[in-house]
Amino acid sequence: MLQEVKEDILDVLKKVIVILQQKEDKDVVEMKEMSNHVIHDATLFEDQDAVSVAVFVHALSKIIERLGTGLNYDEFSARIEKAANELEANDVQGFRGIMRQLYSLIEQKDSKLNLYATDVLHHAQIRKGCKVCEHGMSCAKSAELMNISQWDLLQYIGKTTHGDAFGEGHDVRSRMGFVRRLFP
């Protein structure tokens, strides 16, 4: 794992621990922003650990959004703290093992909620895959990085307005004029 990615992951994990200890109304929004920050690393470095953390943080924000104060925050914060400690000690395998435990905990909470047609982790992977595409990675590469099917990712992108943000584009004449100005 690259040092830059490791530092970003540690920073996000520590911020999540603080959020879980403070329990404020803005928790969900802050966690989604942090998830988007880590997904930037996943895009740049194609790092699976960054993907894992981004998906977990997003899924946790969804669980908090649904359960609110009914969620035992301590159950998560203790494990997240342990994951951060493992990563600080350069025990990447230990970190990954704890992340698997956290994923299992999310799945348990999701199965108790019974609110989703698909599980919250799969949905989080698809959302983060969409974010990776927004950063410029192809849909095929994003789907591979997130360990989801291209079909699921493209279905989600088709239902969102993310692609609309690019606008109309430019016609061939304006593009040729731009190129001619670059190379006189």
Tens of pLDDT along 52-99?
888 888 888 888 887 776 778 888 889 999 999 999 999 999 999 999
Of 143 and 39, more confident = 143
- pLDDT value of position 81: 94
149-153 long-range contacts, CB within 8 A, separation 24+: 152/122, 152/126, 153/126, 153/129
- pLDDT value of position 111: 67
- pLDDT value of position 117: 34
pLDDT in tens, 150-175: 888 888 888 776 555 545 566 788 87
DSSP string, the chain: --HHHHHHHHHHHHHHHHHHHH--TTHHHHHHHHHHHHHHHHHHH--HHHHHHHHHHHHHHHHHHHHGGGS-HHHHHHHHHHHHHHHHTT-HHHHHHHHHHHHHHHHHHHHHH---SS-HHHHHHHHHHHHHHHTT--HHHHHHHHT--HHHHHHHHHHSSGGGGG-S---HHHHHHHHHHH--
In terms of residues, how long is the chain?
184
Question: Is pLDDT at 32 greater than 60 in this prediction?
Answer: yes
- pLDDT value of position 169: 60
Q: What is the tally of structural domains in the chain?
A: 1
Phi and psi (nearest 5°) for 29? -65, -45
Question: Is pLDDT at 9 greater than 60 in this prediction?
Answer: yes
Greatest Cα pair distance, the chain, in angstroms, is 66
Mean pLDDT of 175-179: 82
pLDDT in tens, 109-163: 766 555 543 467 777 888 888 888 887 788 888 888 888 888 888 888 887 765 5
What single letter denotes the amino acid at residue 123?
H
- pLDDT value of position 95: 93
**Could you list the residue range(s) of the whole structural domain that residue 169 is in?**
3-182
